[in-house]
Amino acid sequence: MITLIRVDDRLIHGQCIVRVLADFKIEKIVIVDDFTASNPVLKNVFLLATPPQAKSVIFSVEETKPNLLQFIENNENVLLLMRSPTVALELFKSHPQLKMELNIGPISYRPDTIKVTSYTYLSTEEIEAVNEIAERRVRVYFNQTIDQKIIEWNEVKNLLRSG
Amino acid sequence: MSSTNQNETLGILVCTHSTLAGGFKQAIEMLMGPQENFETIGLYEGDDIMDLSKKIIELIQSMQTHKNVIFTDLFGASPTNSAAMTLVDINASIVTGVNLPMLAEILTLRNQQLPFEDLLMDIVAKGKDNIRIITKEMILEG
Q: What is the CATH number of the domain that holds A145?
A: 3.40.35.10
Alpha helical stretches, state H, A30-162 = 34-38, 40-49, 61-73, 85-94, 124-135, 153-162
Pairwise CB contact (< 8 Å): A106 & B17: no
The pLDDT mean for chain B works out to 94
pLDDT of B3 > 50? The answer is no
pLDDT band of residue B2 (cuts 50, 70, 90) is: very low
Total domains in the fold of chain A: 1
Which pLDDT value is given to residue A7?
98
Answer whether B85 sits within 8 Å of A51, measured CB to CB: no
User: Which of B49, B75, B88 minimises the CB distance to A10?
Assistant: B49
pLDDT at B1: 44
Dihedral angle computed from the Cα positions of residues B22, B48, B55 and B78, in that order, rounded to the nearest 10 degrees: 60
Chain B contacts of A110, Cβ < 8 Å?
48
Find the mean pLDDT for residues B45-71. 95
Domain B11-141 falls under CATH 3.30.450.20: no
- Cβ atoms < 10 Å from Cβ of A39: 14
pLDDT in tens, A34-78: 999 999 999 999 999 999 999 999 999 999 999 999 999 999 999
Tell me the C-alpha distance between B49 and A62, whole Å: 24
The residue segments making up the domain with residue A15 are 2-162
In chain A, % of residues over pLDDT 70: 98
What does the mean pLDDT of chain A come to?
94
Find the closest chain B residue to A39 by CA distance: B85
- pLDDT recorded at residue A161: 67
% of chain B at pLDDT higher than 70: 95
CA A141 – CA A101 distance, rounded (Å):
8
Closest-CA residue to B47 (of B4, B2, B81): B81
Residue positions counted in chain A: 163
Put simply, whether B75 touches A (Cβ < 8 Å) is yes
d(CA B110, CA B93): 14
| pLDDT confidence of residue A110 | 92
Q: Which of B78, B24, B71, B27 is nearest to B53 (CA)?
A: B78
Query: Is pLDDT at A4 greater than 60 in this prediction?
Result: yes
Check residue B6 and report its DSSP letter. -
Query: Given an 8 Å threshold on Cβ–Cβ distance, is A49 in contact with B74?
Result: no
Binding-face residues of B in 12-41 toward A, CB within 8 A = 17
